[in-house]
Structure 1
Amino acid sequence: MSIPIPRPDVPAAERCGGHRAREARPRGDSSFSRDFRVVLLSQDEQDAVRVRRLLPHRPADALVWHMSVEEGCRTAGIHGLLCVLVGSTPAGRTLADVVTRVRRHAPDAAVLVLEGPHTSHAFRSVAGSVQGRVDHSRSAPDEFCRKIRVALQRAVAGRTVAGEEIARDNAVLERGLLPDLTLRADGFTTAFHYAPERAHTLLGGDFCDVVRGDDGSAHVIMGDVSGHGAAAAALGVHLRLAWRTAVLCGQSQLEQLRLLERILTEERGEEETYATVVSLVLSPHHRTLRTVTAGHPGFLHRHRGQVRWVEPPPGLPLGLFPGQGDWRESEMALPDGDGIVLFTDGLYEGRTAGGRLGEEGLLRLAGRLAHLEAQTFVDALVRGVSLLAAPFGGLRDDVAVLHLSCDGVSGA
C-alpha cells in the first residue's frame, strides 16, 4: 500500500487525509514534462518530505512513497520511465539487499541512492547496479532534478556508475598498452595510423612497434591476429611486448618469430587462431633493409616520387602449423630518402565499386599520392581507401599503417 506523501509544513495529525501539498515547489524545466514515475523506498518519513520539496509540481504529484520494495515497484508499473529513490533501508536489510530486490522487480528502472550517514561505504557494493547517488538533504532543487534526469538517461542507455568508471579505466589501460611509434633515432622518421574495427575501443588484433637497436638500426614489426574482439587484441599485446623484449635481448629475426609462435600457441584461446607478421631491420650505416615475413602482405617502397609493391619471400603464418615455419630472410637496398610503408590487410580488403580494392587498387591509389610527405601520405591513403569503401559499408577490419623513412627524409 502506498503511503500519502506528508506535507512538509502540516502537523502530523493532518497528514493522513490524502491531499496533495500545494506549497510552492520548484517548477523545473521542460525536460521534466516527460511521462515518468518517481518511487521512493524508505523507512524515514523525512526522506519523503525532503524529496517532495525538491521536485517540480508534476513529478511531485507522481511521487509514490513505499516502505516495501515489491509493492513500490508493482505500484509504479512496468510501462514508461521509472526512477526509484532508495533511502533508509528496513531494519536487518542492507542497501545491497534493497537494490537487488529493486532490480529483480524493475530491471529497467533508474535507481538513485539517497545519501545518508551510512551510505558512503555501502554505495560501493551497489555501484554496478545503480545510476548514481544524490544528497537530498543538501542539494538545491535544480541539482536534485538534474541528478534524476541524468539517472534516467543512464538507465535508457543501459549504463551504471560503475560501468562508466570501468569504461574510463579500460580506456586508460588501453592507452597504456598502445606503443609509442615515434622512433627516436638518428636517420629515421615515422608516420602512422591505427584504427581498430571495434567501436569504443583503442586496441584491436592488429599490432605494430618500432625499437632502436644498440647499433643504431631500426627494428620494426607489423602483425595481425586472426579474429576480432578483445581476445585478438589481448593476444596482439602479448605478441608485441614479447617481440620488443626479444629485440632488446639481441635475438635474431628468425629467433623472434619462433618465440612469438610459441607464445601464440600457448596463449591463444582457440586452436584455429593464428597471426601474420612481417619483421624489418633497417641499417642506417649499410642502407639496407632486412625482411622476414610470416604470412603477412607485402609492403610499399617509396623511391624518388614513385611507389612500388614489394613482396618478400612468403612464410607460414604463426600458429598455423606450429614448428613448421619456413621463414627466410631477404635483403634489399634502401637509399637515403626512401620510405617503407607497412600495413595490415584491413587497408585493402574493403569493397569498392569495382569489387575488392586489393593490392593493385591500393598501389594505384598510393601512386597518386606519391608526392606527399610521410604523415600526409599515410592520412591521405587511409582517407582514400575509406572513401572508396564508404558506399559499401566502409572498412570492416582493423587498420594499421606504419611509414618509416630513411635518413629523416619523408620518402617523397
Structure 2
Amino acid sequence: MTAAVTDTPGRPSPEPAYRILLIEDDPADALLVEELLKDTGLRFELTARTTLAEARTELAVRAIDCILLDLHLPDMSGTETVAAVRELAPHTAVIVLTGLSETQAGAEAMAAGAQDYLVKGKVEADLLDRTLRYAVYRSQTERVAAEAQEARLHAEENVRLERGLLPQPLLSTSAVTVTTRYLPGAERALLGGDFLDVVESQDGLLHAVVGDVSGHGPDAAALGVCLRIAWRSLVLGNHRGPDLLNLMERILIAERGSQPLFATCTLLTVDPNAATATLHLAGHHEPLLTTLQGTSELTAAHGMALGIAPEVGIWPATEVSLPASGALTLYTDGLTEGHNGEKGERLGVEGLLALIRDLPPSDPAAHVDHLINQTQALNAGRHTDDLAVLRLDWDTAGP
C-alpha cells in the first residue's frame, strides 16, 4: 500500500511531506495507523510493507524520513527487527509499535536504537503527531552531528597526511626560492599518492624529488608519505642516484603488501658551484627548465618506475648545465593529463608549454598558481588526478 501526500482540508501546508514507511503485517493495524496519520494534520507520504524483506527493497530505492515498525513480522521478531532496520537505514527515525501486553518491549526497542515507541490501542492523533515530529528531528540532528564529526576527522586526517606529503624544505641557502603546490584530484578527497620534498645536504648540494604513487585515497597517500620520508632520510644519509632509488623501491615493495601499487619519481640534484643538475627518472617525465629565452622540457634518460620490475634496477643519470639564473619545475602528471579545452585531447607537455608561453611575467608563486588555474579551467573537471608542483628559482648572475 502506498498513500499519496495527504493534506488537511483548509489548513496551510508550509512544511514538506513526511515520507513514512509502515512495516506492519496486520491489515487492520495498518489501516488504523493511516487513519491516525490523517487525523494528525501532518502532510505525509505513507508506504506500507508487510515484511522486513519488502521493507529492505523499499529502503534501497527510496529516501524515508520515518519508519513505523511492528516488532512481530513474518520474517523477523523482537528487538532484532529494530537492529536490522537500523542497519538498513542508520539515519532514519524509527518508531516501534508495541502491543498492550508488551510492557518492556518499548524500552528494549529504544535500547536497540529506536527513537521512540507507541503502544497500539493507546495512540491518539496528537501523540502520534508529537512523537513522529520529535523522532524525525532527533534522527536529523544525529545525522548532522555524524556528518560534522566525519568532516572533522576528514580534515584532521588531511592535515596529518599533508604534513607527511608536503614538508617544509630543509634549506640553509637563500640563493634558491622554493615554490610548492599540491591539489587532491577529487573534491573532499584525502590527499593522494603524489609527494615532493627539497633538502640541502652538508656538502652544499640541493636535492629535490617529485613522485606519484599509483592509485588514490588513503593507501596511496600513506605509501607516498612513507616514500617521501624515506627519501629525505636516505638523502641525508648520503645515498644518491641508483643506490637511493633501489632502497626506495625495496621500501615500497615492503610497505605495499599485497596491493599492486607502484611509484614514479624524478630525482634532482643541483650543484650550485658547478652550475649543473643531475637527473634520475624512475618512470617519471622530465622537468621543465626556464631561462631568459623561455621554457622547455629537459631531455633525460629514463629508468623503470619503482615496484614494476624490481629485478631491473637501472636508472641512468643525466647531467645538464644550468644558466646563471633560471628555474626548474618538477611536476606530476595531474598537470598535463587533463583535457585541452573543447578539443577532447589531453593537454600534454606541448600544451603545457604553450600555456606557459602565454602567461604574463610574474613571481614564481603567482606563475605556478596561474598555470594550475589555466590547466584546471581547460580541463573543466573531466580528469581528476592529484597534482603536485615543485619549482626551484635561482639568480646568481648578479646586477
Q: Bin the TM-score by the shorter chain.
A: 0.5 to 0.7
2: distance between equivalents of 1:375 and 1:408? 19
Residue 160 of structure 2, aligned match among 176, 182, 190: 176
- Look up the equivalent residue of 1:100 and give its one-letter code: A
Question: What are the superposed Cα offsets for residues 283-328 of structure 1, whole Å, 9 maximum, x if unpaired?
Answer: 3344332221111011111112511111321111111110312112
Find the partner of 1:341 among 320, 323, 329.
329
Aligned counterpart in structure 1 of residue 92 of structure 2, from 106, 110, 114: 110
Pick closer, same or farther for the CA change 1:171–1:99 going to 2, 3 Å.
farther
1:274 aligns with 2:262: yes
Deviation of 1:336 (Å): 4.1
Tell me the alpha carbon deviations over residues 159-203 of structure 1, each in whole angstroms, 9 at most, x when there is no partner.
575564344223212312224455363222122221222331231
Given candidates 4, 18, 31, the residue that maps to 1:35 is 18
TM-score, normalised to structure 1's length? 0.64
CA-to-aligned-CA distance 1:246-282 (integer Å, 9 cap, x gap)? 1232222322211111112222255743211101122
Letter aligned with residue 152 of structure 2: R
Report the equivalent of 1:362: 352
* CA drift at 1:146: 9.5
Identity of matched residues, %: 33
Per the TM alignment, residue 399 of structure 1 is displaced from its structure 2 partner at its CA by 1.5
The equivalent position to 2:208 in structure 1, one of 220, 235, 241, is: 220
Paired residue for 2:377, among 387, 391, 394? 387
Give yes or no for contact 1:198–1:204 (8 Å, CA) kept in 2.
no
Partner of 1:100: 83
Letter in 1 for 2:92: A
Q: In structure 2, how many angstroms separate the alpha carbons of the residues matched to 1:174 and 1:187?
A: 32
* 1:394 shift after superposition: 2.6
Q: What's the offset of the Cα at 1:36?
A: 4.3
Q: 1:97: how far off?
A: 7.2
8 Å CA contact 1:288, 1:331 repeated in 2: yes
Match of 2:74 in 1: none
**Of the candidates 263, 270, 285, which is equivalent to residue 297 of structure 1?**
285
1:209 deviates by 1.6
Partner of 2:223, secondary structure, is helix
Deviations 1:136-179 (A, max 9, x none): xxxxxxxx97995484387xxxx575564344223212312224
Change (3 A) 1:162 1:253: farther
Partner-residue secondary structure (3-state), 1:379: helix
Secondary structure of 2:180 counterpart: strand
Q: 1:33-52: CA deviations, max 9, x gaps?
A: 4324599xxxxxxxxxxxxx
| Separation (CA, whole Å) in 1 of partners of 2:44 and 2:298 | 74
Map 1:83-98 to 2 at 5 A: 83=66
1:14-93 map, 5 Å = 30=14, 32-36=15-19, 81-83=64-66
Distance 2:94 2:198 in 1: 48
**Secondary structure in structure 1 of the residue aligned to 2:65:** strand
2:180 to 188, 192, 200: 192
Q: Cα–Cα, structure 1 residues 277 and 150, in superposed 2: closer, same or farther, change >3 Å?
A: farther
SS of match in other structure, 2:215: coil
- Runs of at least 5 residues in structure 1 that lack an aligned partner in the other structure: 1-28, 40-56, 63-69, 86-95, 114-124, 135-143
The number of aligned residues is: 324
**Distance (Å, rounded) in 2 between the aligned partners of 1:184 and 1:223:** 18
Counterpart CA distance in 2 for 1:236 and 1:61 is 51
RMSD value over aligned CA atoms? 4.4
Q: Specify every segment of 5 or more residues in structure 2 that has no aligned partner in the other structure, as ranges.
A: 1-12, 23-39, 46-50, 69-78, 96-110, 117-131
Residues 18 and 44, structure 2, Cα contact 8 Å, conserved in 1: no
Instruction: Quote the residue 2:311 is aligned against.
Output: 323
| 3-state DSSP of counterpart to 2:302 | coil
TM-score, length of structure 2 as denominator length:
0.66
Residues 320/34 of structure 1: CA separation in 2 closer, same or farther (3 Å cut): same
Contact 1:277–1:294 (Cα < 8 Å) also in 2:
yes
Deviations 1:43-102 (A, max 9, x none): xxxxxxxxxxxxxx856999xxxxxxx99xx9xx977633479xxxxxxxxxx9796254
Q: Would you say 1:397 and 2:391 are equivalent positions?
A: no
